[in-house]
Structure 1
Amino acid sequence: MKFINAVAKVMQNLGNHRFGKCNICGSPTVFLCIDVFSVRNNMYCPFCRSSSRKRHVAKILINEVLPTSKAIADVAKNQSLTIYNTDVDDAFYQILHHQNSYICSTFSPEVKPGTEIRPGVFCQDLENLTFDNESFDVVITEDVFEHVRNHERGLREIHRILKVGGYHIFTVPCNFDCATIVRVDTSGKEDIHLLPPEYHGDRIRGKILAYRTFGIDIYELLENIGFTTKVDFSNYLDQKNGIFDSYIFCSQKL
């Protein structure tokens, strides 16, 4: 049924598909539009199933770390680059999971953090990562930190496991014209809702609570932790790689 629904949506949006080249798998392709109102989260490459958002992450990774590469598939030629991704079974995993220097994680309260669930996939709690200090050149998190109860602790853990000069490439919902909106008071052991609960769709859990919507003060927070941060907003030229209507944070460990 899901496949039939997806095909129907592809047919409904024929005028919104775009030709281009995927910067993850490297294939010339047609980026398939499923939902014109949320192109950031679709415009799928049929070869690696990457979305617009994920290809934007790839763009920053290539620009900052692999400037001579055209696609993430080229990372296979750089055995020394260590990457930790908090997404599992995505397009990056499809291309890189054979690399010993690429690992990813999920979280399950029933599994002890640090347990290797299958080769290259670990159970991890972002607030208490089990990796050694300065283990990675790159950490990738996509739409994760709005769901981390103690986000500052989690960001400090990312800083700890990154090598000096390493990059945290990430996405979070952010209002750049106001301060962070705190939805849940997490100062005690129990959550206290300050606003009506907001849940986001989650591929594994179905839905997951959003503790906050970040604001312009995220820059100060990241600076205090020890990062220098910039944001890349998608532009017209990015459309050749199927990147639409998104922004990516790139924090470098000083």
Structure 2
Amino acid sequence: MKLIDVAKKALKNFGYHKLGKCNICGNITIFVCIDSNNARNNMYCLFCRSSSRKRHVIKVLLKEVIKTDSTLANIFKTQEINIYNADVNDAISQVLQNYPLYTCSSFSPDIKPGTEIRKGVFCQDLENLTFANESFDAVMTEDVFEHVRHHEKGFREVHRILKLGGYHIFTIPCNFDQTTIVRVDTSGEKDVHILPPEYHGDKIRGQILAYRTFGIDIFDFLKSIGFQTRVDFSSYLDKDMGIFDSYVFCSQKVLNNINEGIWQ
């Protein structure tokens, strides 16, 4: 979106802007609204340009993993936590770019998975991650798994690279009152559309196909592979952090070997 268009939308939605403190960059800021009907994906921080959704992910990371009331900008000064973010060039990466235990990734079919594109940035396929077992304390993915062709394999890969007790903090489109809507049959080598194709915007690859809209059955699946999962829904108090109309999944790895069938 062109800057002039953003400015026009910001003026149009001036009444929805919110003063608060960003939990990513740590600044007192104004959260700028450019679309009041989709607040979770905008309400941008003036300083780091983080969205409401991204700040919600960080809220859960700070509370569940780092166990602090501080901001992301301060964690590398006091913490030794291995973090993997399946996103690049975002507000999180800007803040943690000098944190030695931070890794992020992008995916390109033209680059061999595992290739380090630049320092701390790797090409990764979520269905076949190249990281060693139990490498990370936390993994973050945002609105990604609906686009992963074989999402079960992807979730198992995240489970594999997490340390026991580690967390997968993620967002997905989910209907909590029905089962998963399968949009594409992926049982064969080629995609077979069951429903009219649905595409979502991606800052790197443009429009990408959504294979499914998740449903309540995601909880049983995550439990079956060794995760204990809850959902954090945004509340009135979250508005001070510019978090609106959002929910974030938090899955803790409680079973180390999913073949053992023993909960720990």
- Structure 2 CA distance for aligned equivalents of residues 99 and 80 of structure 1: 9
- Structure 1 CA distance for aligned equivalents of residues 203 and 175 of structure 2: 25
Matches within 5 A, 1:161-176: 161-176=161-176
- Structure 2 CA distance for aligned equivalents of residues 215 and 68 of structure 1: 31
- Structure 1 CA distance for aligned equivalents of residues 68 and 93 of structure 2: 21
- Structure 2 CA distance for aligned equivalents of residues 55 and 161 of structure 1: 24
| Deviation per residue, 1:45-92 (Å, 9 max, x gap) | 010100000000011001102223421112212452000000101010
* SS of equivalent to 1:152: helix
Does the CA-based 8 Å contact 1:79-1:101 persist in structure 2? no
| Deviation per residue, 1:194-241 (Å, 9 max, x gap) | 000000001011100000000000000000010000000001000000
* SS of equivalent to 1:128: coil
| Deviation per residue, 1:173-212 (Å, 9 max, x gap) | 0000000000001011111110000000010111000000
- Residue type of the alignment partner of 2:231: V
Percentage of matched positions with identical amino acids? 67
- Structure 2 CA distance for aligned equivalents of residues 163 and 123 of structure 1: 21
1:130 Cα deviation after fit:
0.3
- Residue type of the alignment partner of 2:99: Q
- Structure 1 CA distance for aligned equivalents of residues 157 and 36 of structure 2: 36
Name structure 2 gaps, 5 residues minimum.
255-264
- Structure 2 CA distance for aligned equivalents of residues 207 and 83 of structure 1: 28
Matches within 5 A, 1:1-254: 2-254=2-254
- Residue type of the alignment partner of 1:128: N
| Deviation per residue, 1:118-166 (Å, 9 max, x gap) | 1111000000000000000000000000000000000000000000000
- Structure 2 CA distance for aligned equivalents of residues 100 and 223 of structure 1: 32
* SS of equivalent to 1:125: coil
Name structure 1 gaps, 5 residues minimum.
none
Q: Paired residues, what number?
A: 254
- Structure 2 CA distance for aligned equivalents of residues 16 and 114 of structure 1: 42
TM-score for both structures, normalised by structure 1 = 0.98
* SS of equivalent to 1:232: strand
* SS of equivalent to 1:189: coil
TM-score for both structures, normalised by structure 2 = 0.95
* SS of equivalent to 1:31: strand
| Deviation per residue, 1:76-112 (Å, 9 max, x gap) | 1245200000010101000001112001000000000
Does the CA-based 8 Å contact 1:82-1:102 persist in structure 2? yes
